[in-house]
Each structure stands twice: as structure tokens, then as C-alpha cells.
Amino acid sequence: MTVHADADALPPTTETFRSVFRHHAAGVAVVTAQGGRPAGFTATSLSSVAVAPPTVSFAMSTSSSSWPVFRDASHVGVHILAADQRDLASRFATAAGPDRFAAPTRWRRGPYDVPVLDGVLAWLVCRVEVAVPAGDHRLIVARAVAAESRSGGRPLLYHDRAYVRLCDG
């Protein structure tokens, strides 16, 4: 069945659009980069694009305090958070404030000098391929060049404005 849009229909308001996506559960990742300083943010827009070559995408606001570092970064780190890492997700989701990489955040310099967070379920270091304008964001497409994944563990999810755990059903 094909549904055609009504030419007189109005696009959803910002609040309606947000309300729609409150019904969508998403995995939680922290994306990092190194510039003059390490930078990072919490992302729920992470998506696997292709396996060959291994490619991911994520969206980032150009109004983010971290955007200047990411705009100039050739490589980024993508970290899949575990269910018990709500505090880490919240720390990297804050708009401003204390240094996100200060204690208690545990991290090290990884391949290509990218900040790699300790204790996550998995991480990738990726070479940025392109940053496509998308409204007030950039859709960043990046190719994985290094990876590590630990066995076991449950992912942290984001649903209806809250971090939640995946439960057995």
C-alpha cells in the first residue's frame, strides 16, 4: 500500500517530532576525538552503515562545544556503553561544565591518538570519511580502522528521555 503525502499537510512541530522519537529506543555510545584537547559527546544516533568496508555513521550538533574538535578531526573513537555506565553517558551528555575526561573517567590514548574509554563493551577507532550537513547537525560517516570488543555484558539504552537497561524477556 502506498500513501501519498497531502500537499496541504504541515510538517511536524519540533515537539511533535521529539515526541515521535521518544518511542524509539536507541543504543548509547560516547564518541571522542583529539584536538588541542580531548573532546567527546554522548550519541544515540550511532548506526552501522556497512560491514565491507566497516563503516559507521552518527550525527553531531554544530552548536556543541565539542564540534570544533570534531570538525577538524581525522579520526574518532566510538564507544558502546554498558548498562552500568549511566554516569559516563550523563557526563558526556552535559552541555558544559567539568572536564569530561577528568576523574572518574578512565581513558587512554589509542590508535591515531584518539581518546579510548576504559571499561566499555566495545570501541572502534574510525577515520572520518565525510561530514554531511543535515539541518543544525552534521552526519559523520567514518570507516573503522581499529576495534576491540569484550564478551558478555549488556548495553545501555536510551528511551523516553531516560537511560534504561535491556532486560530478559
Q: Nine-digit cell at 155? A: 548495553
Helix (H) or strand (E) holding 17: helix 14-21
Question: In this model, does residue 114 exceed pLDDT 90?
Answer: yes
Q: Residues 120-142: what's their mean pLDDT?
A: 97
CATH of 27-151, one of 3.40.50.261, 2.30.110.10, 3.30.450.80, 3.30.1540.20: 2.30.110.10
> Mind listing the pLDDT tens digit for each residue in 60-72?
999 998 999 999 9
What Å distances lie between residue 87 and 23, 28, 81, 91, CA to CA?
Answer: 23, 12, 10, 6
Q: What is the pLDDT of residue 102?
A: 93
- Say if CB 60 and CB 41 are below 8 A apart: yes
Beta bridge partners of 167: none
Q: Residues 10-24: what's their mean pLDDT?
A: 86
* Full strand arrangement of the beta sheet holding 55-61: 38-43, 29-34, 75-80, 122-134, 137-149, 55-61, 47-50
Ranking 34-38, 45-49, 96-100, 135-139 by mean pLDDT, the lowest is 96-100
- Rounded to whole angstroms, the Cα distance separating 165 from 59 reads 23
Query: How far, in whole angstroms, is CA 29 from its chain's centroid?
Result: 4
Question: In this model, does residue 7 exceed pLDDT 70?
Answer: no
Of 111 and 11, which is predicted with more confidence? 111
Q: What is the DSSP annotation of 114-150?
A: -EEETT-SEEEEEEEEEEEEETTEEEEEEEEEEEEE-
**Which of 137, 164, 160 lies closest to 19 in space, CA to CA?**
160
